[in-house]
Amino acid sequence: MKSECGLTSESAIADLGSGTGLFAEIFLKNGNTIFGVEPNAEMRKAGEQTLAGYPNFKSVDGTAESTTLPGHSVDFVVAGQAFHWFDRSKAHPEFHRILKPAGWVVLAWNGYRMESSQMMTAYQALVAKYGTDYSEVQREVVGVDVETFYAPGSCKCARFSFRQRFDYEGLEGRLLSSSYAPEPDHPGYEAMLRDLRAVFDANQEDGQVDFEYETEVYYGRLEKA
């Protein structure tokens, strides 16, 4: 963002769907003023606690479609792992309203790389079978279309690969933390965990498996539709 979008420590940023503050903290460490806009009270409180040590963090009860921020007040609108929740038809004009002239919209999320290994292919098959919301499964695997959101303007995309190593408990925790994972009282819950154990056992080396991700970052300026 520094080289492509001109981010400096003086840039004001609206982090939409800021949640527990993980994405916001990256910019706070850069010295930026961050408006963490989060509609969920529990998540917002967690973010406030996590980022309590940063005086430049401003917690906001709002949504991507109605941020409550003043017009032309931020240099960047960013969203990490949240864009798929937005009502695009309402978010687009709201982004345009709060951005300063020539401001940037930066959208980022992590997807996992299904084709990268036998382990990842098997994991995809498991979540497709047991996941309670397949659209969420697909979002995590292949991301979502964002180019049309910038229309009639355009955006660029940068992709970065990275890897986590999990023991079985870590892999199970990763699955159960996903929004599409069934709850313990779901009839498929126990079967899902049995199959996950089988996937782990078939692919583990020295008690661990590799989980391959790809981070996608879209960045561009908005034009009025």
Claim to verify: residue 64 and residue 78 sit in the same structural domain: yes
CA distances from 173 to 28, 142, 165, 177, 196 (A): 28, 21, 13, 6, 11
Which residues contact residue 45 at a Cβ distance below 8 angstroms, ignoring those fewer than 6 apart? none
Percent of the chain with pLDDT over 90: 70
Nearest-angstrom CA–CA distance, 1 and 193: 40
DSSP 8-state class, residue 178: S
Domain that holds residue 170: 113-141+162-214
When mean pLDDT is compared over 52-61, 109-118, 205-214, the highest value belongs to 52-61
pLDDT tens-digit series, residues 130-149? 988 766 666 665 666 788 89
Claim to verify: residue 71 and residue 136 sit in the same structural domain: no
Residue 41 counted as domain residue: yes
Claim to verify: residue 38 and residue 67 sit in the same structural domain: yes
Q: How many domains does the chain have?
A: 2
Claim to verify: residue 38 and residue 50 sit in the same structural domain: yes
Residue 157 counted as domain residue: no
Claim to verify: residue 136 and residue 62 sit in the same structural domain: no
Nearest-angstrom CA–CA distance, 11 and 104: 11
On whether the CB atoms of residues 214 and 171 are closer than 8 A, the answer is no
